[in-house]
Amino acid sequence: MRRRRMEFVFLFILIVSVYMIVFSQVSFNTKLFFIGLYVFVMFITLYSLMLENRFAHDTLLWMYVLLFFPVFGYVFYLFSGQLYLKGYLFQSKRKKDREEWKSLVTHVSSPDLTFLNNHQKSFAAFAKNASETTISTASKTEVLKNGNETFSEIIKQLKKAEKFIHIEYYIFRSDRLGTEIIDILIEKAKKGVEVLFIFDAAGSLSLSNNEVKRMKKAGVKAYPFSPLKHGFFNQKFNFRNHRKIIIIDGEIGFVGGLNIGEEYLGRNKKIGFWRDTHMVLEGEAVYMLHTVFLLDWEYVSGEDVLEERPEINTRVEKGDGAVQVVASGPDTQQGIMSDFYYSLITCATKSIWIASPYFVPNQAIKAAIKHAALKGIQVRLMVPAVNDGFLTQYGSRSYFGELLQFGVEVYSYKKGFLHQKLIIVDGDIASIGTANMDMRSFHLNFEVNVFLMGSSSINDLVTHYQEDMKDSEKLDPLSYNNRGLLERSKESFARLFSNVL
């Protein structure tokens, strides 16, 4: 926080210096003083930027912005350029979470992974060492396709809750669906069921304050994640909690791409049909997912709830493959989800199928996809034909040309808005969860994904992907290369913002 205050002091000095140099009628010597002051502040800023050891082109780009756009460049740097930092933001949460994870993973038994094939073992070896969470063979998963399946199952399980309901969402609306779920939470809280509710302050702006008050009055404990009114001067306002988690009685867990709102049921006429995927977890995976929630709860509430947490109380008689829950964000190792995606892609031997609403890969993932295609591995990328934003739509499209050139198959989903975040490798390893394949999910957002190895749920994901292909149009490389100058200009412009999409 001390550094953040210094940055705003520097901004104030720059503003005053520019005013005194350009607009005031002070003496020449006074102007020289403010010129020197301006140069000193810029030198300190540029030197600090150099010490961050970013990629050379990133460092030079921000240096040019700072030098050639007085004051405005510095403001843009404060709220965009420094989002890359591993530094002090969420430092206390990151340190505390790591300590908690190390103590909690001892409760999960070391799995026997000898049943996995070679490339599954290769990914599992990385996954075991790269994350604080362990791989579980005592878990079950079930795929839920789209809003109707997902919300009917969520509502059914919420009504069965007897001990607690812990719920965390990026977007939670006060529409018909949201109100129905809120009514269940209130009813359960009045009956003595513990209800803990986290909602992202930015994503859930449409959540009515009256609804929050109504929940609290009934006994629901509700907290916003990173309130906007506290976030401007410490930069946290741009780091959002993108997780979607429900834990019921420690026995059932929900995670995936669907937020709470009518549009996720396809009831928004402007958006139309909403294609998404969610999952139900049972067994040890619920314990790991619950840990992600509880760590977030301790952060927003200040309560120490993990110390009194009971042992794993949910076991399955026979697990279904290997399951790992992986959380990512500013509170974890920098870029961990990107590393998982990269490892998943590079272990492929036959096929890589990707579905993502926002496709803005970093250099490593883009290179891995190209190399896989050059080796003769089937690479398919599915994206929505129409996105929910100009920058995301054309930023994604700007990558199609180079991928098509290397033999990647690109499919444009036509039925509605494709929102699922899915990777399937060789038909027997998969990732599903909240993290998109873009810079925001890799570096800014709090995310959580489930990685599956040798699970029967992967067969369902494969089937659904093949069904989605029937509702998609395969891009023709020749037609794409012949697109007009206006389309190319839109793509190139949108790509300039790829680091913050």
Q: Which positions are catalytic? A: 242, 244, 249, 419, 421, 426
- Return d(Cα 407, Cα 371) in angstroms, integer: 10
> Which among 491, 492, 359, 498 has a CA at the least distance from the CA of 421?
359
- Return d(Cα 164, Cα 358) in angstroms, integer: 34
SS3 100: helix
Q: Give strand pairing partners of 452.
A: 323, 430
Q: How many CA within 13 A on the CB side of residue 253?
A: 28
Reported in sequence order, the residue ranges of 116-163 that DSSP labels E, i.e. its strands, are: 139-145
- Return d(Cα 463, Cα 452) in angstroms, integer: 16
Check if the beta carbon of residue 339 is closer than 8 Å to that of residue 159.
no
SS3 387: coil
The dihedrals phi and psi of 282, each to the nearest 5 degrees, come to -135, 155
> Which among 390, 392, 408 has a CA at the least distance from the CA of 400?
408
**Residue at token pair 């930023």:** 395
Q: How many CA within 13 A on the CB side of residue 437?
A: 32
> Which among 62, 12, 43, 1 has a CA at the least distance from the CA of 500?
62
